[in-house]
Chain A
Amino acid sequence: MTVALSADAEPAMRSWLRAVVAAADELCATIGYDAVDVLGAVDDANAENGASLSGAYIALVGDNLNLQVGLTSSAGGCQTLAKALLGMEPDDDDLPESDVADAVGEIVNMIGGGAKRIMSEGDSSLKLGLPLFINGRILETDHLEAAASAVRIGTTDARLLVLRHRV
């Protein structure tokens, strides 16, 4: 099942996705990586092979906006990102799932906050929610649209997502 097409995403969604990528880029210095390597827009917010992706999402809600900002990767990719945030090496013992969820949620929290700062000066109605870690696939609805970029953060392949309900 395909959830929206980045190529078809309207300008506002593309702007938000660029802001999300820029915010992820700012985060890289904190977790010891160079800039985010943007591999390109992807046509499906989900993995092509039908696999479940792990990741975290955070809501950005205002008077005129209702978005979810997300970061997804494989389970191993989430482990690597969580270890990087905590200053650990990729070969260190794996973290418990709860710590991965907490750390990846915090990464998305920072990306969401950065994107909000980039996009919303002057819009005091915009509020950032609390992150939620999910393992699974995004299911299509008639009202859901998405913009997604495949990126590499350090050595980890991931997707940065902006999801919105059409109103």
Chain B
Amino acid sequence: MKILIVDDSKAMRMIVMRHLRQAGYGDHDFVEAANGAEALTAIQSSAPDLVLCDWNMPEMSGFELLQALRADGNNVRFGFVTSESSADMRAQALEAGALFLIAKPFTVESFEEALAGVGV
């Protein structure tokens, strides 16, 4: 399985990958993108099975990316990994088609629960 990790922070992309490995997903392929626009290109070219995406990013936010994907008929499995986790944002994310929202700071268990919950 191919997992696209989208975050404008290189450090955070590394941390997400480390947590995924510790959660037992180390055998999967990881692809990285630094903002929503880069992710859109990566999704079109590499067709990931799952997108783990930050919310606030320059150029194109994670929410804008999700809206663009769904408007284009792309139903790739999509979850947010974000420092913002208010009830409003969770509701907004789910309504737009996200499967889950993992709040930063997170734990290995956060990934285990969220990914198992969507059958990954």
Where the two chains meet, the residues of A that have a C-beta atom closer than 8 Å to any C-beta of B are 26-27, 29-31, 82, 85-87, 99, 102-103, 105-106, 109-110, 112-114, 116-117, 120-121, 124, 128-130
Which residues on B sit within 8 Å (CB–CB) of A130? 8, 56-58
| Inter-chain contact A128/B84, CB cutoff 8 Å | yes
Q: A82-B11, A99-B11, A130-B57 are in contact. List 6 more A-B contacts (CB 8 A).
A: A30-B107, A31-B105, A86-B15, A87-B15, A117-B103, A121-B87
Question: Do A26 and B88 touch across chains, with their CB atoms under 8 A apart?
Answer: no
A-B contact pairs, 14 of them (CB 8 A): A31-B105, A87-B15, A103-B9, A105-B9, A106-B9, A106-B11, A109-B83, A110-B104, A113-B84, A116-B84, A116-B86, A117-B85, A120-B86, A128-B56
Q: Which residue of A lies closest to B11 (CB)?
A: A103
Q: Which residues of B contact A31 (CB under 8 A)?
A: 105
- A interface secondary structure, majority: helix
Q: Given A30-B107, A86-B14, A105-B9, is A112 in contact with B88 using a C-beta cutoff of 8 Å? A: no
Q: Give A87 to B108 CA distance when docked, in angstroms.
A: 14
Shortest CB–CB separation between residue B10 and chain A, in angstroms?
Answer: 5
Shortest beta-carbon distance from B51 to chain A in Å? 19
Number of A-B contacts (CB under 8 A): 63
Pair A29/B105 contact, Cβ less than 8 Å: yes
Chain A residue nearest to B19 (CB atoms) is A30
B38-59 interface bits toward A, Cβ cutoff 8 Å, 1 = contact, 0 = none: 0000000000000000001110
Chain A hits for B103, CB < 8 A: 113, 117
Q: Is B87's CB under 8 angstroms from A102's CB?
A: no
Q: Is the CB of A102 within 8 A of B11?
A: yes
Query: Chain A contacts of B12 at CB under 8 A?
Result: 106
C-alpha spacing A87/B9, complex, angstroms? 15
Given A85-B11, A102-B9, do A121 and B104 touch, yes or no (CB 8 Å)? no
CA distance A102 to B15 in the complex (A): 12
Instruction: Say how far B64's CB is from chain A's closest CB, in angstroms.
Output: 14
From A27, A102, A103, A124, contact of B105 by CB (8 A)? A27
- Which B residues are in CB contact (< 8 Å) with A128? 56, 83-84
- Chain A residues with CB under 8 Å of B104's CB are 30, 109-110, 113
